[in-house]
Amino acid sequence: MQKDTKKLFSDRQKALQGFNKWEKKHLVELSPQTVVEGLDFLYKLLPEESRHRPIDPSGIMIMRRALAHLKGDYK
């Protein structure tokens, strides 16, 4: 099981590295209007009750700490 997990992780890492190389060669520049329209579209996909709930960034903070720990940048 552990070998399978390592292989899956390794394969995913290689795929992401390949995508990063591809993305650098295919930069997309969006106009400010297109960006705002995209954000508006995504916002409208949220359920109505989610749009009125107070913003709680605690989950993001936990994720950032976990990622920093994985990168070795944890303080």
Which residue is it, tokens 């520049």? 29
Q: Which domain holds residue 42?
A: 2-71
pLDDT, mean of residues 18-45:
93
Whether residue 25 is predicted with pLDDT greater than 70 in this model: the reply is yes
Total tally of structural domains belonging to the chain = 1
Per-residue CA distances from 56 to 11, 36, 41, 68 (Å): 34, 22, 21, 20
pTM (two decimals): 0.44
Contact 9, 17 (CB under 8 A): no
Per the CB < 8 A criterion, the answer to whether 65 and 74 are in contact is: yes
Place of tokens 């552990």: 2
The answer on pLDDT for 75 being more than 70 is no
DSSP-based three-state secondary structure for 50: helix
pLDDT (tens digit, 9 = 90+) per residue, 37-74? 999 999 999 999 988 989 888 999 999 988 888 877 76
